[in-house]
Amino acid sequence: MCLLIFAHNVSPQQPLVIAANRDEFHARPTAASDFWAEYPELLAGRDREQGGTWMGITRQGRFAAITNYRDPARTVPAPRSRGELPLNYLTGEQNPGAYLARLAPLADEYAGFNLLLGDGEDLWYFANSQPEQAPQRLQPGIYGLSNARLDTPWPKVDRGKRKLQELLASDQALDHERLLEVVADRTLADPAALRLQGLAGDMDELLSAQFIITPRYGTRSSTSLWLNSGGSAHWRELSFDDKGAVIGVRDKTFSAGRPVHP
């Protein structure tokens, strides 16, 4: 149950602003975000089980993030790992639209996913939960994405969008502490609000907080990121243990110039 709250071309000073949580089983081996030895331009975390990533950015301003699509009816393992989708985009040269056009016919080879791709100018969204849905170039705005389709009004999503809107409307300068608060709420959602979205099980309530804490599964990391109009990227990743305590911090600030597409 991951969560991404983001603003695309809402502020002229920060064309991309993101607050994100990665939720995963605590036993799954993971490497904290860093620049990869084999891809020195890429800053991302690494899933040590399958080798892919869930979110990353390059020094050329290419951005990608993925969440699982929650569908209890589709539980059969897929032949390919979803984590390769953001990684292949980030280490390639195609623009988001071209990459997604190439991916769309192969989308059924993966379990359900939501994929965000950016290039420092445009931001695109694609999900394989509805095969007839074409890749979508997003208009400027504030968006929320968890484990349903983009902007599905789950309480944690709506809460995050309101927080980000208030943050960007304030007079205070953007910083990592305030941005991470957008996805830091550990309060469970009202069961009545969950039922309105068809989320009525005990597990739905347990996973309804923005920040999830359980002994086996929970929020493993929170990432704040923004791109400045001048071309700099600001990234912070906090890693957490199974009690929700911080066990690691990664801060990176670097130039992320706009790439030239082939």
Buried b (16+ CB within 10 A) or exposed e, 142-178: bbbbbbbebbeebbbbbbbbebbbebbeeeeebebee
Residue 21: beta bridge partners?
Answer: 3, 222
Give the Cα separation of 128 and 43 in Å (integer).
Answer: 26
Give the Cα separation of 60 and 41 in Å (integer).
Answer: 8
Report the first-to-last Cα separation within the chain, whole angstroms: 36
**Residue 129 pLDDT:** 84
H helices present in the chain, as ranges: 84-90, 96-103, 155-169, 176-180, 191-196, 202-206
- What's the token pair of residue 193? 């609000």
Q: Provide the pairing of β-strand 217-227 with 16-25.
A: antiparallel
**Residue 262 pLDDT:** 37
pLDDT digits (tens, 9 = 90+) for 169-195: 998 889 999 999 999 999 988 777 777
Query: Which residue in this structure is represented by tokens 């309060």?
Result: 187
The dihedrals phi and psi of 147, each to the nearest 5 degrees, come to: -110, 25
pLDDT digits (tens, 9 = 90+) for 79-104: 889 999 999 999 999 999 999 999 99
CATH code of the domain occupying 3-255: 3.60.60.10
